[in-house]
Chains A and B, each alone.
Chain A
Amino acid sequence: MTSTSTGPLGDVVLELNEVTIHDDLADNELVHGVSFTLRRGGVVGIVGESGSGKSLTCRAVLGLLPQHIEVSGGTIELLGHNAAALTPKQWTGLRGTSISAVFQDPASYLNPSIRVGKQVQEVLRVKKGQSRAEARRGTLELFEAVHLRDPEAVYRQYPHELSGGMLQRVLIASAIALEPDVLIADEATTALDVTVQAEILDLLASLRARTGLALIVVSHDLAVVAQLCDEVLVMKDGAVLEQGATRDILYAPQHEYSRLLIAEHEQYGLERYLDSPAALPELREEELDYA
């Protein structure tokens, strides 16, 4: 089996069908049936609290479930591969090249004692077999692609010299270095300032528009997910409470919990004060594609 990045299925890159996840230590089911289909250039959002099963679902898709926790039912099909049939070695081949991820705390995913450029360059050298010079050039191009202002300078810096937003850009650069088909952003903007969050969300949207990257955006904040996604899953306690087009969930939420998420914004967020929501320009993709 080879891990070709363009599967014969064409449009669909990831398909989950009634996936359940079981914790063998506590002997209980943590995720009770998640299904969604992710197409090339598509964005699926998952909203939920910590413990809702959203991160476990992502880890299952990445083949990175913690010890004693397993997919106990349903199927995950990643680029035509049945995830359950993959050996650890095949998983290693797929991660990065077909699917990759960025998480909440960027600093903990980088080695503090190695310059960030070298860490990204290493990905290209090891996984793509590029020479030092090629990998360096590739890394600088990636840094440019994630809108780091001075790629040459960032390349030579250590993680502690960069801000949280810059580190997250570096990690996104590293995640897209091998041109994966699917990128998971698991609370990737949660720890960032609002203005920086807006920039990272922009970056993800522009990557998707430019390269056809499919995204899974996970957040506890419905507004973040709503900004990027076509389809949203609302999860709580391991169950999908509501699933559908973003617009439907925002304007006609069926489940009480979805209504709570919306009420939180309307009562205590900016929405409480906004006279006319239309005053803020709606995000249009063309404007983001400034490449």
Chain B
Amino acid sequence: MPEITETGERAPALAVAGLNVDFGRGRSRKRVIDEVSFEIAPGEAVGVIGETGSGKSTIARSVLGLVRPAAGSSVRVAGREVTGLSARELRAHRRTGLVQYVFQDPQRSLDQDLTVGHSVAEPLLLQGVLGRAEIRDAVRREFEEVQLDPALAGRFPAELSGGQRQRVAIARALITKPRLLILDEPVSALDSANRVKILELLARLRSSQVALLFISHDLGSVAGVTERTLVLYRGQLVESGATAQIVNAPEHPYTRLLVGSAPTLSAGSIDRVRRNELRDELHPAG
């Protein structure tokens, strides 16, 4: 298979090419992702920013194989094409744990009736390769990796704080040594102190070889941990570049609107008149 030769350390962690996704059938068919292409190198941290309905979650779901892209789209994770896999192949691919996903709200993404150690161990249990003792060791290592006391492994999610729960969720994602970690608003359900700590933790992960893909509606919330930002508007990639450049010199009117609307400490958001000008620029007809 040609994939094998490409599945080296040097292959991009994620390569999306000509991604199209349609929702609905027949006449009510609607294109929600329109010709999106981008790559993420190993160890790189990239943010996909878009507001409600921009299609940012659909991109993540396409990469995870939860959404079937239109014909001709290509999504390669660590060199391996993941579109068009059968259910069985997809399951086998997921068990490799090359790509992992962290949900927004750890309260809901952890089973309340399982100990957090069990939840973290689940991907390894599914792989069925390691023995009990080895899995227990791996869980302990992963707890230390995300700066959690391994003694907490026997607790239930309800007994942990929000920040601890999100660490557990990240540990579950890291335990399979993924090449790509997709994080959907990973800090927006947390309070400030924990937001900073989780962002610190994620920033530290960048020194390892795992590539990070942040999905967020708010450029401000993940700007500090991404080196590159992709701006998504109505299913299209309208701008991409270094995060510093996107923040300081946005080009596309939508990016300017987005950056300008985010309140900062030193200045409020841009005023209504300017926003309306940008909106007019975005949609000259309407």
Interface residues in chain A, defined as those with a beta carbon under 8 Å from any beta carbon in chain B: 49-51, 163-164, 193-199, 201-202, 220-224, 226-227, 250, 257, 260-275, 277-284, 287-288, 290
* B249 to A, closest residue via Cβ: A275
- Chain B: interface residue total (CB-CB under 8 A): 40
Choose from B52, B221, B224, B267 the contact partner of A280 (Cβ within 8 Å): B267
Nearest Cβ in chain A — how far from B183, in angstroms? 13
- Main DSSP-derived SS at the A contact region: helix
The 10 closest A-B CB pairs, nearest first, are: A268-B224, A277-B266, A49-B191, A283-B268, A198-B261, A193-B51, A273-B247, A227-B268, A223-B263, A198-B269
- 22 examples of A-B residue contacts, CB within 8 angstroms: A49-B193, A50-B191, A164-B52, A193-B217, A194-B220, A195-B261, A201-B268, A221-B263, A223-B264, A226-B268, A227-B268, A260-B192, A263-B196, A267-B196, A267-B224, A268-B195, A269-B264, A270-B259, A274-B264, A277-B266, A280-B269, A282-B267
Taking A194-B218, A269-B221, A273-B248 as contacts, is the C-beta distance between A199 and B275 under 8 angstroms? Answer: yes
The proximity string for B residues 250-285 relative to A, scoring 1 for CB distances below 8 Å and 0 otherwise, is 000000011111111111111111110000000000
Chain B nearest CB from A258 CB (Å) reads: 10
Q: Report the bound CA distance from A181 to B92 in whole Å.
A: 62
- Assembly CA distance A250 to B237 (angstroms): 35
- Verify A288–B272 contact, CB threshold 8 A: yes
Nearest-neighbour CB distance to chain A for B49, whole angstroms, equals 9
Residues of B within 8 A of A288 (CB): 271-272
Instruction: Indicate which residue in B192, B196, B243, B271 contacts A220 across the interface (CB closer than 8 Å).
Output: B192
**Does B135 interact with chain A (Cβ within 8 Å)?**
no
* Residues of chain B in range 205-245 having any CB-CB distance to chain A below 8 Å: 217-225, 243-244
Interface string of B79-104 (1 = CB under 8 A from A): 00000000000000000000000000
B70 located at the interface, meaning its Cβ lies under 8 Å from any Cβ of chain A in the complex: no
The answer to whether B266 and A194 have CB atoms under 8 Å apart is no
Contact (A195, B52) CB under 8 Å given A260-B196, A272-B223? no
CB neighbours (8 Å) of A281 from chain B are: 267, 270-271, 274
Q: Which residues of B contact A195 (CB under 8 A)?
A: 51, 257-258, 261, 275
The docked-state distance in angstroms from the alpha carbon of A197 to that of B51 is 11
Does the CB pair A163–B220 fall under 8 Å?
no
In Å, the complex CA distance between A290 and B275 comes to: 14
Q: For the complex, give the distance between the alpha carbons of A223 and B52 in Å.
A: 21
Partner of B51, one of A194, A262, A279: A194
